[in-house]
Amino acid sequence: MIIDPEKYDAVLFDLDGVLTMTMKIHASCWKRMFDAYFEERSARLGEEFRPFDINSDYKPHVDGKLRYDGVRSLLASRDIHLPEGTPEDGPDLETVCGLGNRKDRMVNEVIDTEGVEVLEGSLAVVRRVHDHGLRTAVVSASKNCEKVLDAAGIRALFDLVVDGKVAARLGLPGKPAPDTFLEAARELSVDPARAVVVEDAISGVQAGRAGGFGLVIGIDHHGDKLALQRNGADIVVEDLSEIL
């Protein structure tokens, strides 16, 4: 196994695209939310309607980021600047938080009705590192992280969860900043140099490299091997079970 128990004490896993395939749900909901907003805005202000493009907009602007960071980034790419609002904003408000909450409501509806797909190859790795005595954590930008883990029936496999709710409570910046990964290492009492980060997003491998983690593993679902390597992944696989 590439994750040598003599060299590492913990493995920190991203959620979406690493343990589960909820990224399909997120991508679809981002598109539904932004397309509806841009279409309404176009009719109201006479602007050109440019739909959200999953191929060109998802990865650079929203993938792996905290929800409101994703809204802010995508809007900035269209030169749209809205009031920040507050996390308590209703999904009908035209604010960064309002749009983010609108998308969040969509995601919850899909999870409740369709459930969550898990990546069995990744779970095999989680179980193997547990067998070798390594600690495990989920480090995700999602505020729905606990709900997804419960829906997938895999919450008990992890010693710790550092998600979007924890980041908000502690005031931690999201990926590509390394702070959420560093917080997980701190709570596990593990030196980052003796911890492994597993990510599928560019922002995630950037965070792992910036945090000085001992090994950063990238999972390539979309032919992004070179981009993952350039941005900090030491190893890139298509399925995490390959490292076994």
Is 16 an annotated catalytic residue? yes
Using DSSP, state whether 87 is helix, strand or coil: coil
126 near 94, Cβ under 8 Å? no
pLDDT of residue 27: 92
Tokens of 47: 């602007």
Is 57 an annotated catalytic residue? no
Whole-angstrom distance, CA of residue 169 vs CA of residue 50: 35
Tokens of 222: 């979309």
Whole-angstrom distance, CA of residue 9 vs CA of residue 196: 8
CA atoms within 13 A on the CB side of 215: 19
Catalytic annotation, pick one of 14, 89, 200, 220: 14
pLDDT in tens, the chain (244 residues): 899 999 999 999 999 999 999 888 889 999 999 999 999 999 999 999 999 999 999 989 998 888 999 999 999 999 999 999 999 999 999 999 999 999 999 999 999 999 899 999 999 999 999 999 999 999 999 888 999 999 999 999 999 999 999 999 999 999 999 999 999 999 999 999 999 999 999 999 999 999 999 999 999 988 889 999 999 999 999 999 999 9
Catalytic annotation, pick one of 9, 16, 57, 179: 16
**Is the bond leading into 176 cis (omega within 30 degrees of zero)?**
yes
